[in-house]
């Protein structure tokens, strides 16, 4: 979650939405280095609205909030890259914020550049008991492979990378074409910039309890903990799935894997799509699925289904409780009792991966064709 993206994205509102509407056990918020966010956290703790979880993170009802920060690094000769860092508790995050203030122009803002080498930042996080995940690794907008570098060790120490975030425009099969990613746990995170987008992607984990330490163990596959499923957006719906011509605004949704110029106007001014970038740097012909790799379960969030507006969504939520229950468990007959049969059928088709999709690209989401 990115608090700075919308006015209603307060720390409390995110926790409430995750716990009461989405049915999420554990959610990360990645603006926690910001002094105003730290102040809100402190007030919530002092008021007893939240409490510190024994294994790290803050607890609100049944939901644990992991305290994170999305930071930008840019090493000499490489492109910019976003990293997700998570700290175990409020005190450590507050101390980390004070440290960052000396290396950032404005520590209150989200996704700001840190004027430190990437490995130096990694070391600072690890020394404080935190962990690092490269964010939306394939996207042209500050993804590690998307723009920063071709291999991970050009930028980061792979030994101190807890997991790899796929981003909305890629899935496990696509990432499996790059052999150096085989040892890493993949995570599918919402990257939500509004309350409604919380949970459009999420992970199922085998944990003893929802806490910072248990999540870390799951990412590192320690002591029987693990990520057991990735629930991800259908990659075609992602904003950067295919390449996009900036001159004539043509989406290059072709069978060709290597696209260097627009087939319509000939321009080389392209926003490189995730699909095309992966095929540019891959070193495998077929995706590799190591034994630890869990299933990637494609989902089409309810907001993408044409005709399913806010009132209809609320009717479904009143009936079934959470979006996850609607998306993955309610039967056609149950859905049809709450909404028109056409919408009920669309939800079932989305669940089964049988909807026709138009690819996204150039910063625009893909769409469902009905």
pLDDT at res. 322: 81
pLDDT of 3 above 80: no
Could you count the other beta carbons within 10 Å of the beta carbon of residue 296? Answer: 21
The gap from C-alpha 158 to its chain's centroid, in whole angstroms, comes to 20
Residue 5: band (very low, low, confident or very high) from pLDDT cuts 50, 70, 90: low
Q: Which of 111-115, 220-224, 233-237 has the highest mean pLDDT?
A: 220-224
- Per-residue pLDDT averaged across 15-24, rounded? 87
The count of residues in the chain is 370
Query: In CATH, what is the architecture of 3-235?
Result: Alpha-Beta Barrel (3.20)
Q: Residues of the chain with pLDDT > 70: what percent?
A: 97
For 98, phi then psi, to 5°, come to -65, -40
What is the band of 1 on the pLDDT scale with cuts at 50, 70, 90? very low
pLDDT at 168: 92
Indicate the CATH number of 301-359 among 1.10.3470, 1.10.155, 1.10.150, 1.20.950.
Answer: 1.10.150
98 vs 233, which has greater pLDDT?
98
The whole-angstrom separation of Cα 20 and Cα 296 is: 25
Other C-beta atoms closer than 10 Å to the C-beta of 370 total 13
pLDDT > 70? residue 260: yes
282-312 pLDDT, tens digit per residue, is: 999 999 999 999 999 998 988 899 999 889 9
**Does the reported pTM lie above 0.95?**
no
Give the DSSP letter string of 100-157.
HTTT-S-TTSSS-B-SS-HHHHHHHHHHTT-EEEE-STT-TTT-IIIII-SSGGGTS-
pLDDT digits (tens, 9 = 90+) for 123-139: 999 999 999 999 999 99
The answer to whether 72 and 142 have CB atoms below 8 angstroms apart is yes
Domain with CATH 1.10.150 in the chain: 301-359
Q: pLDDT at residue 7 above 80? A: no
The answer to whether 4 and 194 are in contact (CB under 8 A) is no
What is the distance between the alpha carbons of residues 306 and 239, in angstroms, rounded to a whole number?
Answer: 18
What pLDDT score does 9 carry? 81
Average pLDDT over residues 319-326: 86
Where would I find the H helices in the chain? 11-16, 35-46, 90-100, 118-127, 172-175, 212-220, 274-281, 310-320, 323-328, 332-336, 341-351
The per-residue pLDDT for 23 is 83
User: How many CB atoms within 10 Å of residue 229?
Assistant: 16
CA distance 269 to 284: 28
Is pLDDT above 90 for 113? yes
Query: What mean pLDDT is reported for the chain?
Result: 93
- CA-closest candidate to residue 302, choices 253, 355, 358: 355
Residue 55 pLDDT > 50, yes or no?
yes
Q: Tokens 């993408």 belong to which residue? A: 304
What average pLDDT does range 50-68 have in this prediction? 96
Q: What percent of the chain has pLDDT over 90?
A: 81
Start and end residues for every CATH 3.20.20.140 domain found in the chain: 3-235
Encoding tokens for residue 59? 């607890």
């Amino acid at each position: 979650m990115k608090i700075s993206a919308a006015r209603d994205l307060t720390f409390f509102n995110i926790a409430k939405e995750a716990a009461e509407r989405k049915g999420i056990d554990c959610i990360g918020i990645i603006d926690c280095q910001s002094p105003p966010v730290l102040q809100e956290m402190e007030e919530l703790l002092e008021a007893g609205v939240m409490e510190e979880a024994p294994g790290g993170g803050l607890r609100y009802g049944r939901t644990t909030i992991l305290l994170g920060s999305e930071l930008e690094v840019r090493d000499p000769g490489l492109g910019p890259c976003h990293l997700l860092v998570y700290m175990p508790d409020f005190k450590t995050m507050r101390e980390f914020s004070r440290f960052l203030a000396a290396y950032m122009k404005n520590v209150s803002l989200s996704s700001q550049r840190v004027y430190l080498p990437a490995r130096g930042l990694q070391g600072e996080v690890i020394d404080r008991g935190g962990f690092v995940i490269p964010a939306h690794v394939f996207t042209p907008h500050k993804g590690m492979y998307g723009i920063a570098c071709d291999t991970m060790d050009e930028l980061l120490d792979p030994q101190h990378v807890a997991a790899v975030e796929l981003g909305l425009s890629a899935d496990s099969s696509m990432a499996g074409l790059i052999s150096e990613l085989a040892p890493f746990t993949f995570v599918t995170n919402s990257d939500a910039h509004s309350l409604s987008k919380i949970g459009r992607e999420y992970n199922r984990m085998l944990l003893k309890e929802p806490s910072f330490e248990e999540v870390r163990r799951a990412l590192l596959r320690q002591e029987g903990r693990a990520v057991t499923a990735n629930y991800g957006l259908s990659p075609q719906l992602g904003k950067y799935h295919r390449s996009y011509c900036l001159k004539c605004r043509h989406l290059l949704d072709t069978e060709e894997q290597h696209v260097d110029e627009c087939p319509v106007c000939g321009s080389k001014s392209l926003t490189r799509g995730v699909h095309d970038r992966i095929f540019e740097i891959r070193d495998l012909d077929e995706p590799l699925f190591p034994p630890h790799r869990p299933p990637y379960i494609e989902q089409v969030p309810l907001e993408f289904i044409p005709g399913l507006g806010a009132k209809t969504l609320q009717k479904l939520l009143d009936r079934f409780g959470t979006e996850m229950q609607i998306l993955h468990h309610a039967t056609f007959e149950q859905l049809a009792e709450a909404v028109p049969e056409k919408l009920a059928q669309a939800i079932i088709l989305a669940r089964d991966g049988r909807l026709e999709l138009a690819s996204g690209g150039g910063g625009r989401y893909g769409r469902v064709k009905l």
